[in-house]
Structure 1
Amino acid sequence: MTTPPEAVDLAVLASWMDEKGLPLGPIEDIKELGGGTQNILLRFRRGGTTYVLRRGPRHLRPRTNDVLRREARVLTALDGTGVPAPRIIAVCGNENVMGGAVFYLMTPVDGFNATTYLPDLHAGDASVRHRMGLEAVVALSKLGAVDHEAVGLADYGSPEGFLERQVPRWMSELEGYGKLDGYPGPEIPGLEHVASWLEDHRPSEWRPGVMHGDYHLANLMFSPTGPQVAAIVDWEMSTIGDPLLDLGWLLATWPVGDAVSIAGPLGAAGGLATRDELIAAYAERSTRNLDAVDWYEVLACFKLGIVLEGTHARACAGKAPKDTGDLLHAMTLGLFERARGITG
């Protein structure tokens, strides 16, 4: 690729980098990277250094810039904590520099996404794949151990009442989908049962911390030379809340049987750690109380299922592809079936 996306002006980028005192020279070896969102990721070299630029899509959504600012803030705060994540090099929070978009530069990650591709080492060795799941928990336990106040994130979220807000917040979200013409309403067996169970079994005590908010295999980059997590990526949903919900999210999305999964090639290859092994690995590395781990997994199924149902609702209204809506609705049904299996 010799030219960047229209939304990235190289002359503007070079001038801004000069002002930041970053290495001079032509911007070379430009490559647009794929990702799980519509945000633009551009890898390039300048002055002997490789960078990755992240900014919102060409047509910015209302909250995109705020989300990018938050991402940059949390990644900056996590630098030096041992949490595997991209390192921020410089941030441009001024929307007037590049066509209204906030952007930042970060270090590139030497890794791969196991939901889209497996190198020969990982594809050919079940012991490596088994360890990958455990390493996902190792990385998560490091995040859960971060003192959010000590790293400057005391005001990054609103932990007060976090668990109490979850069920009403997401039931209200689901109700809002009814405003979309063509959506028949949520046809989700067990919806009310799961919601009631969550309210009745909510943990009474928990400890706030940094949450990724969307912790699953598709948001992890693994080392090409082993099972370790090279970086946790896509921090758009991060906040200060209950880090055990991240563990619940990993469990809720973990490949099991024939369920519709986002695990891709890794899930298809098999040989992965079991749910109990993942929980045990977290318990070995965390001081958090895991007595209510089932509750966090059910909450993750509930919340993620409602999020995915939103795309199904938009597809019914002609605002998203029907095939995508059908697939995500199937995943929602699978998540609620999983939740019902836990709640009884």
Structure 2
Amino acid sequence: MDTQQLGNGAITNTNLLTGGTQNILMQFDRAGRSYVLRRPPIHVRKYSNKTMQREATVLAALSGSDVPHPGFIASCDDTEVLGASFYLMEPVKGFNMLNGLPDLHKSSESVQHRMGLSHMEALTALGEIDYKAVGLEGFGKIDGYLTRQAPRWLDQLERYKIYEEWPGLGEANSISAIAKWLDDNCPSSFDPGVLHGDAHIANVMFSLDSAEVAALIDWELATIGDPLIDLGWIIATWPDADGTQTLLLEGAEWGAYPTIEELIKHYGEHSHRDLSHISWYGVVGCFKLAIILEGTYARYCAGKAPKDVAERLHASSLRLIDRALRLMREA
């Protein structure tokens, strides 16, 4: 901080926001200013330092934009300082709905509805960023981005077979049918842009005094590709109109949030992108997330993960596969 001219004197008012096996967030004060430090877990994983560097790069690129995000302050790639790469950002004044709603938001259906629409506006603002102009050219592999989605995740599912006790994810013919449908219906082109990569509701902070998004958080999967992948992630993770959820997010109070159809419509009204193939993005979102979550269940079958978590995630995977099949039928 001294070399970056970020005040002087002691670090005070330290408050650990997250820690343990996940990335660490710590808020602190120095010279009359508050900061949040983000770094990998104490036991740094193989790609943790690279991930921190990528997060810092994208947040720095978004500085001054209309995208709600934590303000970037400075980063450090020298792992000798803390034992890992890290960066500093501005604290976000807001709340995550998984921790419950403040009275303002809990008491008003119009506020709850607006929260969902604001979420879409945050994603469309991100998708409208000129990634070349903000220095993110080369931040992702654009060529073949969509065509490699289904094979990439099908290959991941195949890797779980090393756990011989794992029975597989649902009906094998359903998985094959989804993968084939994705290949057969893949959009022929797309307009490249910045995508968050994990844009579901758990990674959104809302303002304490309004329905607006204060910041999209956890940018570790951000890349350059097709921003409609983020909307597909919403389609995969948002409750159906009848309340059916693919993910059982503890603490979530969905209330009067918009329906998936309303979210898609609102996204289209704020984006120049063609939504005629949006079902494809919803299916690929369901397919990808189901396979990611199933990894824990496969490890549990081999005695390498806790039963309660694994069975809950496996149930979510099956619901995601069901939603994918339904989206295919309705397309």
TM-score, normalised via structure 2 length: 0.95
- Matched AA of 2:126: L
1:1-344, aligned counterparts within 5 Å? 17-34=1-18, 38-99=22-83, 101-188=84-171, 190-256=174-240, 257-266=243-252, 268-344=253-329
Deviation at 1:116, TM superposition (A): 2.3
Contact residue 88 and residue 106 of structure 1 kept, 8 A: yes
Contact residue 72 and residue 91 of structure 1 kept, 8 A: yes
Deviation at 1:169, TM superposition (A): 0.6
**Residues in 1 aligned to 2:193 and 2:271: alpha-carbon distance in whole angstroms:** 12
- Matched AA of 2:134: V
**Residues in 1 aligned to 2:21 and 2:145: alpha-carbon distance in whole angstroms:** 26
Deviation at 1:21, TM superposition (A): 1.1
- Matched AA of 1:304: L
Report sequence identity in percent: 50
**Residues in 2 aligned to 1:78 and 1:331: alpha-carbon distance in whole angstroms:** 33
Deviation at 1:265, TM superposition (A): 4.0
**Residues in 2 aligned to 1:273 and 1:258: alpha-carbon distance in whole angstroms:** 14
Q: Secondary structure at the match of 2:224?
A: strand
**Residues in 2 aligned to 1:324 and 1:153: alpha-carbon distance in whole angstroms:** 37
Structure 1: which 5+ residue stretches go unaligned? Answer: 1-16
Q: Once structures 1 and 2 are overlaid, which stretch shifts more, 140-149 or 186-195?
A: 186-195
Deviation digits for residues 221-278 of structure 1 (CA, Å, limit 9, x no counterpart):
0111111100000111111110001011012111222334345444x44211011211
**Residues in 2 aligned to 1:188 and 1:131: alpha-carbon distance in whole angstroms:** 39
Q: Secondary structure at the match of 1:182?
A: coil
- Matched AA of 1:218: A
What count of residue pairs does the alignment treat as equivalent? 326
- Matched AA of 2:291: I
Q: Secondary structure at the match of 1:210?
A: strand
Structure 2: which 5+ residue stretches go unaligned? Answer: none
Contact residue 129 and residue 272 of structure 1 kept, 8 A: yes
**Residues in 2 aligned to 1:175 and 1:273: alpha-carbon distance in whole angstroms:** 36
**Residues in 1 aligned to 2:220 and 2:65: alpha-carbon distance in whole angstroms:** 19
Aligned residue number for residue 4 of structure 1: none
- Matched AA of 1:150: A
- Matched AA of 2:314: H
**Residues in 2 aligned to 1:32 and 1:188: alpha-carbon distance in whole angstroms:** 44
Question: What RMSD over aligned residues (CA atoms) do the two structures have, in Å?
Answer: 1.5
Go from structure 1 to structure 2 and tell me whether the alpha carbon gap of 1:35 and 1:149 turns closer, same or farther (over 3 Å shift): farther
